[in-house]
Amino acid sequence: MTLYLFLFIISFKKYLLIFIILLSQTLILKVPMIAFDVFSEHVTTNNGSNVESIFQSTDGILLPNSSPNAERFVSGLQEYILKHGNNSVEECTSCFPVNRDNRKGTGHNVEVAIALVDVAHSPGNPCSWTCSAKPEVLYFEDFSLCTDLHSIDGILKSIDWKNYGLSLKTGLAEQGRLHDLEWAQKAPVDIKLIRKAIKLAFDDMKSKYDGIFMNYHTSKVQVYAPDLSRAIAGLILSSKDVEFQAQCASLLGLQRDDINMDGRVESCIKEKIIATIELNSGKTKGGKKVNSCLFECEKIHEEDCCYQNDERRDNHSIDDEM
Amino acid sequence: METTELPKSILFFSDQQLCYAESLPPSQVKARIEIALLNFLNCLCSPSPAITDLPLVNKRNENCKFRKGLMSDVSSIFLSHSFCTRSLSKNKDVKSFIRVWKVMELCFQIVSQEKLVTQRELFYKLICDSPDYFTSQIQVNRTVQDVVSLLRCSRYSLGIMASTRGTIIGRILLKIQGQETIDCSSLGPAGYPITGDFGILDSMRFDSDARYILVVEKDAVFQRLAEDCIFNQIPCILITAKGYPDLATRFLLHRLSQNFPELSILALVDWNPAGLAILCTYKFGSMSMGLEAYKYACNVKWLGLHEHDLEKIPPESFIQLKPHDLQTAKSLMSSEMLPEMYRKELALMVGKGMRVDIEALYFYGFDFLGKYISSKIVQSDYM
């Protein structure tokens, strides 16, 4: 299944909205023609008459008007990017029949949209993707592809992409193809805000889509899940205590009889361990904290140590331990 | 078992602080492993699932304490109640975390079958079963200590025997249930090998007319003294662990000291930092044994070599201290357990930058060693 990931950074005056959308191809096919213009998003201005929601829908697919503005906005952007991909088209009248100047007149510009797209296949839309097999970072300004990356290069580099299992290809700025967009003339970008927004957006996505945004450590740890589950299952199965086994089965949500099914306990534990690792990915360092010993919870004493361990003796511990 | 009892001397001063491993019957060990497992599953299957960290007793310096016995001359080092964790979520801990569960799984089987295995056997089993996790004996040994620390039961309770190199000879009869009594005075110079089975050591009964126990650092020296039948000249029992003492040798020595409290325990070690460190392991215990470190500490006295013995040594026998000798010396110096007189000797070693092996006394002939020991004992020249 091809997954599309979109990260939008949208600036409205002093507000910054970040959206990340992850779509499977299946989902995209279900809503091929929905196109919401950015203007549908903004409905609460003082002179509301300037604002027009333009819905273009086909096949009777229409988001209800009760949809939150943000949702409509995202849908529109999402649809646009899916259709236009990274082609730097000037205009697409099928998607945006309204006059571009009118849109500008509302004062609600899309400053930038960043789309991270991993596309194995081109969606085949009119404005199709010209993409590589590798994930790309694309920038859109005012619905146009922007490859003058110098101004945002520093921000992108400051994002902890690795925490989301991504890596940023260096030298992006040098690959720029369009030079007519003038970031430098615009208001300075609030680096902290964008960084925070991207982090929050990714964290949100991470919590919604298990396994997609695992950080490197989590992916690494998951490799050990089968061995850990084998050891745990081995312990359960080697016990002759039926009550203990029943307790384990109950905790695992298994039937007593499942214990004797070949590989059932191990696979159940493995699933749970993997799910738990994913769930806790990047949350906090360390697992479930235990403050004291399992078998004696005595007060921890904090007296000064009199005996300073010597490494030499430790190095020779093999003798002692054999 | 005697091992379940805390030495009286320790109970008096540090029962509040001491964190120790109990000797438990197999049923209780299994129960503890099951509790650890249920605890793990409980967390894993809870509404907010997590992989439980494994709480282990901290073996760092700050949790290592030393106290002098008030009711006896026995002092020891021990671990107190500060904990650290093995966590699956810590990069450096991932493999150690899994090793603990793997060793626990194996111990569960061993205990269930009421078998005893050596750590070496455990190592071979683990490298066959889990070569990705176990590549060295040290890893196995450390993991066993982690399990000891987690379950708070002794290594022997886990069905693991000490792999011992210890031997004993001299004026003592060893009475082992179901076996013939061993007269250690009629053995060859290799002596009687000390078993790693703590059960046997614990139930062993003794009979002796010795007045001293000589703890010898080196096997070669032990064999020299055994061949000379020094125990016929000096009423003594000879013990060696061939270097740093293993737990079984220390356990036997401790049992002898408990059975024969009137016997002086005298140590013959090289005049170098390692020799002193070996002596200190017999005397105070070793942190490498973690929660069992405090056990088996004995009031061992330093018979030699001492600095004032060096006048007998020809200059050719002095060897320059190596960097690791100096490192050992530094570690010992920083330890408050080191008695002042030992500290002075150590300072002299470092000051001279030289070491002397016991064998240097052979300059006066192979039989000189016995005379040297006799002379030292007669003059009460030990500390």
pLDDT in tens, A57-113: 333 344 555 555 556 555 666 666 556 554 444 445 554 444 444 333 333 333 344
How many cross-chain Cβ pairs, A to B, lie less than 8 Å apart? 253
Task: Say if A223 falls within a structural domain.
Answer: yes
Q: Is the pLDDT of residue A191 over 60?
A: yes
Backbone angles phi, psi at A11, to 5 degrees: -105, 125
Please write the tens of the pLDDT for every residue from A291-304: 456 665 443 333 32
Residue contact B335–A308, C-beta within 8 A:
yes
The answer to whether the CB atoms of B19 and A235 lie below 8 A apart is no
Closest CB to A314: pick one of B67, B108, B288. B288
- A171: β partners: none
A219-226 average pLDDT score: 89
pLDDT range class, residue B349, cuts 50, 70, 90:
very high
B38: closest chain A residue by CA: A248
By percentage, how much of chain A surpasses pLDDT 70? 24
Q: Is A64 exposed, middle or buried (0-12, 13-18, 19+ CB in 10 A)?
A: exposed
Q: Which residue has the higher pLDDT, A165 or B95?
A: B95
Range of weakest confidence among A173-182, B210-219, B267-276: A173-182
What's the CA dihedral at A305, A311, A313, A315 to 10 degrees? Answer: 140
> Taking CB atoms and an 8 Å cutoff, what residues of chain B touch A288?
43, 50-53
* Interface probe, candidates B48, B286, B291, B321, chain A, greatest A C-beta count within 10 A: B286
User: Do B286 and A269 make contact, defined as CB atoms within 8 angstroms?
Assistant: no
Residue A258 confidence (pLDDT): 86
CA A150 to chain centre: 24
Model-level pTM? 0.67
Q: Look at A231 and B98 and tell me if their CB atoms are within 8 Å.
A: yes
Q: Do A310 and B334 touch (CB under 8 A)?
A: yes
Q: Which residues make beta-bridge pairs with B193?
A: B167
Q: Are B186 and B226 in contact (CB under 8 A)?
A: no
Between these two residues, B161 and A130, which has the higher pLDDT value? B161
Residue A84 lies inside a defined structural domain of this protein: no
Across the interface, whether the CB atoms of A292 and B81 are under 8 A apart is answered yes
- Please indicate, yes or no, whether residues A139 and A209 belong to a single structural domain of this protein: yes
- Chain B residues lying within 8 Å of A259, measured CB to CB: none
The more confidently predicted of residues A191 and A222 is: A222
**Are the beta carbons of A248 and B61 separated by less than 8 Å?**
no
Banded pLDDT at A170 (limits 50, 70, 90): low
Q: Which amino acid is at B152?
A: R
**Are A246 and A260 members of one domain?**
yes
Q: Is A299 exposed, middle or buried (0-12, 13-18, 19+ CB in 10 A)?
A: exposed
C-alpha B241/C-alpha B300 separation (Å) is 14
pLDDT digits (tens, 9 = 90+) for B93-125: 899 999 999 999 999 999 999 999 998 999 999
The pLDDT confidence band at residue A12, using thresholds 50, 70 and 90, is: very low
d(CA B147, CA B295): 18
Q: Spell out the domain ranges in chain B.
A: 3-158, 208-378
The pLDDT confidence band at residue A23, using thresholds 50, 70 and 90, is: very low
Using CA atoms, how far apart are residues A142 and A131, in angstroms rounded to an integer?
20
Q: Do B112 and A295 touch (CB under 8 A)?
A: no
Residue to mutate among A239, A298, A321, with most B CBs inside 10 A, is: A321
Q: CA end-to-end span of chain A, whole Å?
A: 54
Is the pLDDT at A121 greater than 90, yes or no? no
| Cα–Cα dist B212/B235, whole Å | 7
| B73–chain A nearest CA distance, Å | 18
CB-closest option in A276, A298, A311 to B50:
A276
pLDDT of residue A56: 35
pLDDT score for A45: 37
As a whole number of angstroms, the distance between CA A124 and CA A28 comes to 11
pLDDT at residue number A189: 53
Please tell me the least confidently modeled range out of A142-151, A187-196, B230-239: A142-151
Residue B321 pLDDT level (bands cut at 50, 70, 90): very high
Nearest by CB: B102 against A231, A292, A316: A231
User: Does A250 lie in the same domain as A199?
Assistant: no
Confidence check: pLDDT of B375 > 70:
yes
Mean model confidence pLDDT for chain B? 89
Closest chain A residue to the Cα of B60, Cα to Cα: A309
- pLDDT, one tens digit per residue, over B122-149 is 999 999 999 999 999 999 999 999 999 8
Contacts of B132 in chain A (CB under 8 A): 227
Q: Residue B307: which pLDDT band, with cuts at 50, 70 and 90?
A: very high
Q: Which residue has the higher pLDDT, B220 or A122?
A: B220
Set of chain A residues whose Cβ sits within 8 Å of the Cβ of B39: 294
Which residues, including other chains, have CB under 8 Å from residue B5's CB and lie 6 or more apart?
Answer: none
Query: Is the CB of residue B252 less than 8 Å from the CB of residue B166?
Result: yes
Give the residue on A whose Cα is nearest the Cα of B248: A320
- Residue A47 within a domain: no
Confidence of residue B360 (pLDDT cuts 50, 70, 90): very high
Do residue B87 and residue A238 have CB atoms under 8 angstroms apart?
no
Q: How many CB atoms lie within 10 A of CB B163?
A: 20
Closest CA to A189 of A161, A149, A228, A220: A149
CA distance B375 to chain A (A): 31
For residue A217, the chain B residues in CB contact (below 8 A) are: 89, 91
Determine whether the interchain pair B105/A251 forms a contact, defined as Cβ–Cβ distance below 8 Å: no
Alpha-carbon distance B275 to B357, whole Å?
9
- A252 to chain B: closest CA residue: B45
The pLDDT of residue A112: 41
- Shortest Cα–Cα distance, A200 to chain B (Å): 21
Verify whether the Cβ–Cβ distance B331 to A275 is below 8 Å.
Answer: no
Which residues of chain B have a CB within 8 Å of the CB of A233?
A: none
Protein fold of B208-378: Dna Topoisomerase Vi A Subunit; Chain: A, domain 2 (3.40.1360)
Residue closest to A126 by CA, chosen among A178, A96, A78, A87: A87
Amino acid A304 reads D
Chain A residues closer than 8 Å to B38 by CB: 244, 247-248, 251
Residue of A146, A26, A148, A46 whose CA lies nearest to A88:
A146
Q: Look at residues A266, A114, A133, A264 and name the one whose alpha carbon lies nearest to residue A189.
A: A114
**Is A312–B274 a contact, with Cβ atoms under 8 angstroms apart?**
yes
Whether B54 sits inside 8 A of A308 (CB atoms) is: no
A46 CB contacts (<8 Å, ≥6 apart)? none
Average pLDDT for chain A: 57
Mean pLDDT of A280-294: 57
Same domain, A205 and A266: no
pLDDT for A197 beyond 90: no
pLDDT in the model for residue A16: 42
CA-based nearest distance B167→chain A, Å: 15
Q: Given this model, what pLDDT does residue A224 score?
A: 93
Task: For residue A43, name the pLDDT band (cuts at 50, 70, 90).
Answer: very low
| Tokens 């979520």 -> residue | B89
Question: Most confidently modeled of A160-174, A296-310, B78-92?
Answer: B78-92
pLDDT digits (tens, 9 = 90+) for B73-85: 777 777 777 778 8
Q: Classify residue A3: in a domain, yes or no.
A: no
Residues A225 and A205 in one domain: no
Distance CA B130, CA B160 (A): 19
Strand partners, B237: B170, B213
* Any domain includes A190: yes
Number of domains in chain A: 2
Q: Is the dihedral of CA B345, B351, B357, B363 positive or negative?
A: negative
Chain A neighbors of B89, CB-CB under 8 A: 217, 221, 280, 285-287
Instruction: Give the ipTM.
Output: 0.79
Angle, helices B94-112/B26-44, rounded to nearest 10 degrees: 140
Closest CA to B77 of A76, A119, A179, A305: A305
Residue A239 belongs to some domain of the structure:
yes
Residue A194: pLDDT band by 50, 70, 90 thresholds?
low
Confidence bin at B214 (pLDDT 50/70/90): very high
Look-up of token digits 């007593």: A256
Minimum mean pLDDT among A312-316, B334-338, B368-372: which range?
A312-316
Over its C-alpha atoms, chain B yields an Rg (Å, rounded) of 22
Domain that holds residue A153: 135-165+186-213
- Sorting pLDDT into bands at 50, 70 and 90, what band is A155? low
Kindly list the distances between the CA atom of residue A117 and the CA atoms of A81, A210, A229, B284, B376, in Å, as whole numbers in the listed order. 10, 18, 35, 65, 84
- What would the mean pLDDT of B277-304 be, rounded to a whole number? 86
pLDDT at A148: 59
Burial B118-127 (b: 16+ CB within 10 A, else e): bbebbbebbb
Q: Are residues A197 and A237 in the same domain?
A: no
- Whether residues A277 and B51 touch (CB distance < 8 A) is answered with yes
- Report yes or no: B19 and B291 within 8 Å, Cβ to Cβ: yes
Which pLDDT score, from 0 to 100, does residue B180 have?
A: 92
The 3-state secondary structure of chain A, one letter per residue: CCEEEEEEEEEECCEEEEEEEEEEHHHHHHCCCCEECHHHCCCCCCCHHHCCCCEECCCCCCCCCCCCHHHHHHHHHHHHHHHHCCCCCCCCCCCCCCCHHHHHHCCCCCCEEEEEECCCCCCCCCCCCCCCCCCEEEEEECCEEECCCHHHHHHHHHCCHHHHCCCCCCCCHHHCCCCCCCHHHCCCCCHHHHHHHHHHHHHHHHHHCCCCCCCHHHHHHHCCHHHHHHHHHHHHHHCCCHHHHHHHHHHHCCCHHHHHCCCHHHHHHHHHHHHHHHHCCCCCCCCECCCCCCCCCCCCCCCCCCCCCCHHHHHCHHHHHC
When pLDDT is cut at 50, 70 and 90, the band that residue A181 belongs to is very low
User: Which of A209-223, A300-314, B47-61, B119-133 is predicted most confidently?
Assistant: B119-133
- Which residues of chain B make contact with A313, given a CB cutoff of 8 A? 244, 277, 280-281, 286-288, 328, 331
- Decide if B124 is catalytic: yes
User: Considering only A27-31, B191-195, B305-309, which range has the smallest mean pLDDT?
Assistant: A27-31
Same-domain pairing of A198 and A222: no
One-letter amino acid at A117 equals V
What is the pLDDT, as a whole number, of residue A19? 47
pLDDT digits (tens, 9 = 90+) for A233-249: 999 999 999 999 999 99
Residue among B29, B35, B39, B44 with most chain A CBs within 10 A, to mutate: B44
Helix axes B137-151, B26-44, angle to 10 degrees: 90
B286: closest chain A residue by CA: A313
B98 Cα to chain A: minimum distance (Å): 6
How far away is chain B from the Cα of A313, in angstroms, using its nearest Cα?
7
Is A245 a domain residue? yes
Angle at B43 between CA B108 and CA B25, to 5 degrees: 25
Catalytic residue among B20, B124, B282, B364: B124
Nearest Cα residue to A268 out of B139, B192, B44, B365: B44
